[in-house]
Structure 1
Amino acid sequence: MSPAKPASVSIRDFAADDAASVSALFRAVYGDRYVYPDVYLPSMIHHNNEQQLWQSSVACVDGAIVGHAVLWRHPDTPDCAELALNVVHPSARGLGIATILGRHLCQLAGKQGLRCVTIKQVSSHGQSQRLAQTLGFHTVGLLLDYVASPFASTGRESIVLGCLPLQASPLPSLPWPPACRDWIAPMERHFGTRAAVPAAPGPAIVVASHEQRIEVSLNQPSKEQLSEVAHMPSGRLTYVKLALDGRAPAAMEELHRAGFAYAGVVPRFGRGWYGLMQRGYAEQELELHCPVSRALHQGSLKAELA
């Protein structure tokens, strides 16, 4: 008896009549627990692609959709996209589909002239961290307790942030505190540095609430704003983004004294970067696959003890 012929995987762009199959794929893998509710609504999958908020690609075996991923375009960073919603049916695992989809979409982002692609990796899911490393992403941040776990009915997941530069994206050369060197030094080697310049203008402060977390963006942080953020409810899970320019290290040290932990960096519009800080998370053990994420985690534990 001859061995079974390996399955042939094809990759193509999303079509309007794929929406129901993509939604069924998420339900088959995650049940009712996936964090983004749009995937359970075929009309929203279609709408997000039609409005170019998502740019989906699908993987097919024998004509059936067995994999999906998107470039997710966020309005606040129009020169970047997020590689997200990467899912593979259990029957098709072992064929390299997640990697094939990821490479296809990252190449597409490069052809579109985007500055970089980002990715959120679930810390308890070693496969997602290995996928990011295979695709060439560099760890830039660690957001603790970011979302409800899609793998269990209770508990929260921490997220490793990755960034794949498609164009030069140097970090500003700043006098980071010694406690940051273990994680900022590898980033400076990967992305390079340039002289710090004033951050591109933007709203002075933006506050949003998502599920259990509060997100604060400070584009021109004043002493008054920093004091207000420092005095926000300390028990609430809070992430702060500060535009990285010459004023940022002192501002971040002020928040650090108020119990915020350094959480890395993330791309900002105008080819800039934000510094990330966080407070209100639970102390936890994490399975982390790179020295940058482990250094950020160690720093967060020290902040909790301070």
Structure 2
Amino acid sequence: MSPCTPPGRWGWKPATAAWRSASWPTSSPGTSSVRRSWPTGWEAICRNASFATPRRYTVDEVLSFKRGRVPLLISMPHPGTRLTPAVDAGLVEEARALTDTDWHIPRLYDFAEELGASTLAAHYSRYVVDLNRPSDDKPLYSTATTGLYPDTLFDGRPLYREGMAPSAEERMRYLAEVWTPYHRTIAEELARLKAEFGYALLWDAHSIRSHVPHLFDGRLPDFNLGTNAGASCDPALAARLEVVCAAAEGYSHVLNGRFKGGHITRHYGQPEQHVHAVQLELAQCTYMDEQAPFAYRADLAEATRAIIRELLESLLAWGRERYA
């Protein structure tokens, strides 16, 4: 474990056992829960670490969180475009377009407030630290992928100029100050939802270019649902979502294809504990231009948003029926 990874009782320890065994609170935390202090003594350890940049990143710099009124949290870990000075200084020129960003995801899901869902969106680029990877950086896929601290672009080219990647010490700081607050917020909000409603639903929202030969062959289906091969949610829920996708004329879909769910889906989806998680990896051609400057296409997005909304409404309806 990294010396600046908080202990497991908070629910974001690298080992999934911490999440499985965590006791859920009996009352809802206050609205300031995302700012909760780390366990006594742990913050001092990180404060005394010799970081290259002494200023700490604040929670407001790292993420946006809005609490809702229904048992659904929508997580958006990859729309961020902020870079730390060390990352910015080392990037190769072709990486500066931030091509691998999940562009416009908060805009695509901006109807979430109408549904009453809680929303969580990251501000920092995945090039700083990938929030959908475990803190021990254990590979999630046997095929080509990127790690907790990406060193390559999705197309396999180097992300950094030679010798210019952030130091191990700097990356430890990103884990403590960027990765950890995001996962702390997920853990606390799911705990709050489960305490209030008896169950919680987690939707992990992603998008990617429809053609990335280094990562997958051919064209990606439009809607890629991931449930960790059925382990992160009730099979009946996955089946209901597939019905919605199958009825979407002109769109393709797959369940547990190339993208089965990253760390967030796998770590927090515990259906036996009444926490159900689903990842949607959306082909970007369904709502935007896939070439720089990566413009949002309202003419494409309107229909895509309608399908996503129907998926989320079906998710909520399933929860109401299952836990009635």
TM bucket (normalised to shorter chain) is under 0.3
TM-score, scaled to structure 1: 0.27
Larger Rg over CA atoms: 1
TM-score, scaled to structure 2: 0.26
Whichever structure has more strand as a proportion of its residues is 1
